[in-house]
Every structure is written in structure tokens, then in C-alpha cells.
Structure 1
Amino acid sequence: MNEFISICVELSVGLFALLLLTKVMGRASLSESTPFDFISMIVVGDFVSDAIYDPQTHVFKVIFTILFWGILIYLIDIITLKYHQSRGFFESQPALIINKGQIDREIMKKNRVDMNHLQMLLRDRDIFSLREIEFAILEPNGKISVLRKSEYEQTKRKDLKLANQAVSLPITLISDGTIIEKNLRLIGKTEAWLIDELKRHSVDEPDQIMVAEWRNEDGLFIQRIRS
């Protein structure tokens, strides 16, 4: 019985101590975790769980563990606020992944982002076509910030009293130089048709293409692999 009471006390203390620690870390860490914040919370959670289920560990060790770790995090926050140069070590840096409409393949490789992942991040921002983007920045929290091209800025058609138009979902036909055959079949096209379309854009081989997508409203959009 005493063992169960001890577990309940340690769990309660651990819970409130972790809540206090998240308050100290600030709202930014709660809303958008950086890799450093993520690692910090995993380490603290692991410390607390080990302390709670180790019969040799007293509740004061739980408090000490969280308190000491919280002090370390607080000190690091102060260092990064006062000394700008230290941020590169403790925090990830934003990466310009699309610059003036061009995808930077080297930046993608450096950040281990492939085309499928990039497109998923863009869809999460309600952007379904790469042709709409002027600049895109991969943030330290893993999300992407986007500046659209001026012609794709979000103005509602009803604001301009324009007639409605049909909207179709862009289909990726080539990704990282590889033809996606199932997507060709989805739009009722063949590989021979795609090769002809590439030749019209002065492209000899699909492996020269970073991404190619099809949309019914405005046809084929391609972006070459930058040499």
C-alpha cells in the first residue's frame, strides 16, 4: 500500500513540476517546439519516469532533477538572448528552400527534405502548386513559411465581383527526375505524351526535371534541376 501511495505522490509532484518547467520555458516553446525544446522535454520526461518507478528514488530527487534541468534551459535561453553568435549552436537556422521561384536542391539535401515532404508542407499552408511560390523558408520548427508571387496573392474573387472558375488539384508527374506513372494514368496521359511536352520546353530527359506538375487550368509546369 505504501508503494502505491509513494507512486501517486511522485507522479503528482512530477506533473506539477513539469507544468512549472513549461511555464518557465515560455509560450513560444509550447506553441512551436524547436529541436532543442523537443529534446529538453524528452530528457526531462525520461528523468521523471525513471525516478518515479525506481524504488530507490525519493520524491526530492524528482524535484531536484526537474529543477536543475530547468535552470540549465533557463541559462541557455539567457545566453542565446544576449549572445547572438550562440544561437547557431543551440538553435537550428531558417533555410531558404525556394528562392525567386526556384527550388534549391542543395538546401533540400542539407535539411533532408525530399519533394514529397516539401509538397506536404506546402499543402499544410493551403498551397497546392509550386508555381505560386516566390520564396519559401524552412523554419527551425520544421514548418514552412511562404511568400506567394504577386499574381497568386489571396484575393477573393467575390471581392472583385468576378465569375467563379473551376478549380482542379495539381498532379505531380515528375519528382526528382522520376516519372510517376500512376499520376499520368490518373490524368489520362502517357509517358510518350509527357516526353513530347518536355521537348516543347527544351528538355531532353525527365532526369533533368526537379518537379513537373499538371493542372487542368494552365497545363504543365516544370522546374529544372539547377546545375
Structure 2
Amino acid sequence: MESFLSIIVELTVGLFSLLLLTKVMGRASMSEATPFDFIAMIVVGDFVSDAIYDPEANIFKVLFAIMFWGILIFLIDFITLKFNRSRGFFESQPAIVISGGIVDRNVLKKNKVDMNHLQMLLRDRNVFSFREIEYAILEPNGKISVIKKPELDMVTRADLRLPGHTVSLPATFISDGVIIRRNLKKAGKTEQWLRDELKRKGIEDPKRVMIAEWRPEDGLFVQTIHPS
């Protein structure tokens, strides 16, 4: 029983310590893992596993290890922010794998990327032919950024000299039949207004609504729950 209690305490303390560490590291390190972030996750995870399976590793040693590791990460982030030349050592650099529509085999070999893998990365960006690409950059997180050839690029409103328009985030008023009153209040709407709008769409009961969202530009969008 004592061993189970020890595991519970160590896991709980380890969890909150890791949460605190991720807060200190910032959101950028959690968005897309670079090689340095990958190493950090492995090492920190090993600290927690030692707390559970190694009888000689008490929770205070694990907390010290996590804290010291956090200090190292903070120092490395500080160094890379202050000294640009250090970034090449701690962080991978973007690599141009396609330039002017031509695939650079030397850059691919240097980054250990073969053609099949490159094609997979391009398909993930909705690019299915090399003929569409002007430039492609392999990012430090393993993703690829693509600039299409001018004739194949998407046309914008500015290109067509059309007047601009404002875009706002949609506010969810109903989710799975539940009215979200705080969103109504933020949007300056009332529950009665929402019910009236639903009645105009032939919906008497808000519980029948799977999703209802509203934007000033295009009004209320409603999708009802279809019977199974």
C-alpha cells in the first residue's frame, strides 16, 4: 500500500512540475518540436520514469533534476536570443530544397531526405506536382513551406482590386444543444434573440441544435442534430 501511495505522490508532483516547466519554456516550444525540443522531452520524461521505477530516486532528486533542466533550457533560449551565431549550433536552420523550380539533391542528401519523403511533405501542403513549385523550404521542425509559381498562386482580393472587408471570429451560441450564455453576452445578444432567430429557421427547441455560431458579417449559422 505504501508503494502505491508513493507512486501516486511522485506522479502528481512530477505532473505539476512538468506543467510548470512547459509554462516556463513557453508556447513556441510546444507548437512544433525541433530536434532540441525532442531531446528535451525525452530527458524530462526519463526524469519522471526514474521517480516511479527507480527505488533510489526520490521525489526531491527528480524535482531538482527537472528544475536544473529547466534552468539549462532557459539559459540556452537566452543565449540564442542574444547571440545569433549560437542558433546554428542549438537549432537547425531552414534549408532551401527547391529553388527556381529545381530540386537541390545536395541539400536533400545533407538533410537525409529522399524524394519519396519530399513528395509526402509536399502532399501534406496540398502540392501534388513539382511543376507547381517555385521555392520549397525544409523547416527546422521537419515541415516544408512552399511558394508556388506565380501563375499557379491563389488570387487575392487585392490582386483583383476589390474592396476589403472585415473578418471576425465566430461566436458559438449553441453546442450539442446547450446554450452558451457567456458567448451571447459577449456578443451583445440575448437568449430571447437567439430563440427568435431559431424560430425563424423553423427550430422550436434549442436542444435540437448541434452547433449554432454567429458572425457579424454573415449572421447566424445553425446545424441541427440529425436523428440516427
* Unaligned 5+ runs, structure 1: 161-227
The CA distance in 1 between the partners of 2:86 and 2:144, in whole Å, is: 23
The CA distance in 1 between the partners of 2:147 and 2:38, in whole Å, is: 27
Query: What is the 5 A alignment of 1:61-76?
Result: 61-76=61-76
**Structure 1 residue matching 2:146: 3-state secondary structure:** strand
Asked if 2 retains the 8 angstrom alpha-carbon contact of 1:52 and 1:62, the reply is no
- TM superposition shift of 1:55: 1.6
- TM superposition shift of 1:41: 0.8
Hey, which bits of structure 1, 4+ residues long, moved more than 6 A?
Answer: none
Query: What is the 5 A alignment of 1:41-56?
Result: 41-56=41-56
**Structure 1 residue matching 2:135: 3-state secondary structure:** strand
Deviations 1:136-168 (A, max 9, x none): 000000000111101111249xxx9xxxxxxxx
Partner in structure 1 of residue 32 of structure 2 = 32
- TM superposition shift of 1:64: 0.7
Task: Report the number of matched residues.
Answer: 157
Partner in structure 2 of residue 213 of structure 1 = none
Partner in structure 2 of residue 4 of structure 1 = 4
Letter in 2 for 1:40: A
Deviations 1:36-62 (A, max 9, x none): 001011011012201221122221111
TM-score scaled to structure 2, two decimals? 0.67
The CA distance in 2 between the partners of 1:102 and 1:3, in whole Å, is: 62
* Unaligned 5+ runs, structure 2: 161-228
Deviations 1:87-129 (A, max 9, x none): 0110001000000110000000000111110010001001111
The CA distance in 1 between the partners of 2:125 and 2:139, in whole Å, is: 13
Partner in structure 2 of residue 143 of structure 1 = 143
Give the superposed CA RMSD.
1.3
The CA distance in 2 between the partners of 1:56 and 1:140, in whole Å, is: 38
TM-score scaled to structure 1, two decimals? 0.67
